[in-house]
Structure 1
Amino acid sequence: MVKNALQAQLLKAGLVDNKKAKKLSKQTLHEQRTGESKDAEVKAKIAQAQQEKLAKDQAIEQEKKAALQEKELKAAIMQMIQQHKIRDTDGEVAYQFLDGKIKKVYINQQIYNALVAGSLVIAKENDSYAFLPKALAERINSKMEGFIIVNNAEKNEATTDEEDPYAAYVIPDDLMW
Structure 2
Amino acid sequence: MASLQDQLLKAGLANEKQSKQATKSKKKQTRDVRKGVDVGETAAQRAFSEKQAQASRSKQLNAQRDAQHQDRAVIAQVKQMLERCRLDLTGGEVTYNFVDGKAIKKLYVNAMQQAALSRGSLVIVGLDDHYSVVPANVALRIEERAPDTFIIRAESATDTIADKDDPYADFVIPDDLMW
Q: Considering the TM-score relative to the shorter chain, is it more than 0.5?
A: yes
2:161 paired with 1:150: no
Residue type of the alignment partner of 1:77: V
In the alignment, which residue of structure 2 is the partner of 1:90?
91
Extract unaligned runs of 5+ from structure 1: 16-37
Please give the TM-score of this superposition, normalised by the length of structure 2: 0.71
Q: Is the 8 A contact 1:86 1:130 kept in 2?
A: yes
- CA pair 42-176 structure 1, distance change in 2 beyond 3 A: closer
Partner Cα distance (2:17, 2:140) in 1? 81
Measured against aligned partners, the alpha-carbon deviations of 1:11-47 in whole angstroms (never above 9, x if no partner) come to xxxx9xxxxxxxxxxxxxxxxxxxxxx7962211211
Q: Is the 8 A contact 1:123 1:147 kept in 2?
A: yes
Please give the TM-score of this superposition, normalised by the length of structure 1: 0.72
Measured against aligned partners, the alpha-carbon deviations of 1:71-96 in whole angstroms (never above 9, x if no partner) come to 01101110110111111453221111
In the alignment, which residue of structure 1 is the partner of 2:26?
none
Extract unaligned runs of 5+ from structure 2: 1-11, 24-38
Map 1:25-174; keep pairs closer than 5 Å. Answer: 41-100=42-101, 101-152=103-154, 155-156=155-156, 160-164=159-163, 165=166, 169-174=171-176
Identity of aligned residues (%): 32
Cα deviation, residue 168, structure 1: 5.2
In the alignment, which residue of structure 1 is the partner of 2:29?
none
Residue type of the alignment partner of 2:56: A
Instruction: Count matched residues.
Output: 149
Which of 4, 10, 33 matches 2:15?
4
